Structure 1
Amino acid sequence: MTNKVQYSMGHANRGRLFENLIDMTNNQYRNSNYADIRKVPSPVKILQVTGNQVKGKLEQATWVDYSGIYSGQAILFDAKETKQERFPLKNLTDEQYKLLHSWHYKGAKAFLLVCFWIKNKNEPEIYYLKFEQLEAAWIGQSNGGAKSIPLQFFRDHCVRIKSGIYTVHYLEAVGGAL
């Protein structure tokens, strides 16, 4: 019997499978004393509290998904995914970009992990996008250039993340850049 992962790209679940894979990897990293990287909870504005029930709404993302430490260096990144053959820069908020920018220029490893779910492919393509690459695209879009990064750019210029000892061994790419 083959176990298949059922993937739902409904609005409420977008990004959840990819984040679950990263969370599994981060647990593996912690358990093996390789790194300590944690998911940052999404900000929620509390609207009403009734007894032990809380109603709230998600606020606009001002922080990124993950932060931690690896090989004595601060790590900060966001996990993004798309079903298109391009990564729309609008998927990153201005506040998230500014945070990555600030940490990068203060010496942290700041980056994106971008997951492409390509139609008729059995597995996603996951890439490590260095901050410098993101910055070039971000500045380009601000100056009237492309508002997305094509998948082919990732294939030609970014490290593809594979599974191995770890579920999504992204620190192998980051380590090569340390």
Structure 2
Amino acid sequence: MRKTYNQSKANLGKRLERLLDMTHLQYKNKGVADIRKVPTPVQIKSNNKGNITGYVTRGEWVDYVGVYNGRTIVFDAKETSVKNLPLDNLQEHQYELLKSWHEKGAIAFLVVEFAKMHEEIYLLPFKILQEYWNAREAGGRKSIPHSAFVERCDLIRSEGGVVLHYLKHLKGWRE
């Protein structure tokens, strides 16, 4: 049986990823931060005279890691087309990596885009993510509602010539 996938779901997040890549180039060019996209891991099956075959494997990382203002930052980018962020959109190994790095002093967070409903992009600090994750583990809600983003998170906008100026929301973070 051939595995099929939803084309729109396959492209979910690509727009946000492109915006973040442009942002990171702007940050690097201005000397503000160095943030890199973590490559998608690929298992190579064969290499026949440069003709490589392989498949994407499950990564153990999040999307981005870097340094800003002398501190490590680590985050994942998520896009949702519904009125909340389903916690199932974040894989357990991604949550555990964010948690581990947060506990060791890194600035950990999610960048979340509400694509179809609001076209809004928010910075979700790890501590808020952790509250909802723990509540879900205890049998509670399985998603973070849009209203929580509006009330508790910073809305990311284009500013000062930077496509998605999210770093301004990290100033003074001492979690």
Do both proteins adopt the same fold according to a TM-score greater than 0.5, normalized to the shorter chain? Answer: yes
1:38 deviates by 0.6
Task: Tell me the number of residue pairs that the alignment of Structure 1 and Structure 2 aligns.
Answer: 167
Which secondary structure does the structure 2 equivalent of 1:177 belong to? coil
- 1:161, 1:169 within 8 Å by CA — same for their partners in 2? yes
Q: Structure 2 residue aligned with 1:87, among 85, 108, 119?
A: 85
TM-score by length of 1: 0.89
1:49 aligns with 2:44: no
Q: Structure 2 residue aligned with 1:97, among 95, 108, 131?
A: 95
What are the Cα deviations for residues 40-89 of structure 1, in whole angstroms up to 9, with x where unaligned?
Answer: 10111122322212222211232000000000000000000010010011
Runs of 4 or more consecutive aligned structure 1 residues displaced over 4 Å after TM superposition: none
Which secondary structure does the structure 2 equivalent of 1:163 belong to? coil
1:1-178 pair list within 5 angstroms: 10-119=8-117, 124-165=119-160, 166-178=162-174
For 1:175 and 1:114, the matched residues in 2 are separated by 19
C-alpha RMSD over aligned residues: 1.3
Segments of structure 1 that go 5 or more residues without pairing to the other structure are 1-8
Aligned residue number for residue 6 of structure 1:
none
Segments of structure 2 that go 5 or more residues without pairing to the other structure are 1-6
1:12 deviates by 3.1
Change (3 A) 1:159 1:103: same
What are the Cα deviations for residues 122-164 of structure 1, in whole angstroms up to 9, with x where unaligned?
Answer: xx20000000000011101000011100111101110000111
Identity %: 46
Higher mean alpha-carbon deviation, 102-111 vs 46-55, is at 46-55
For 1:146 and 1:154, the matched residues in 2 are separated by 15
For 1:127 and 1:97, the matched residues in 2 are separated by 18
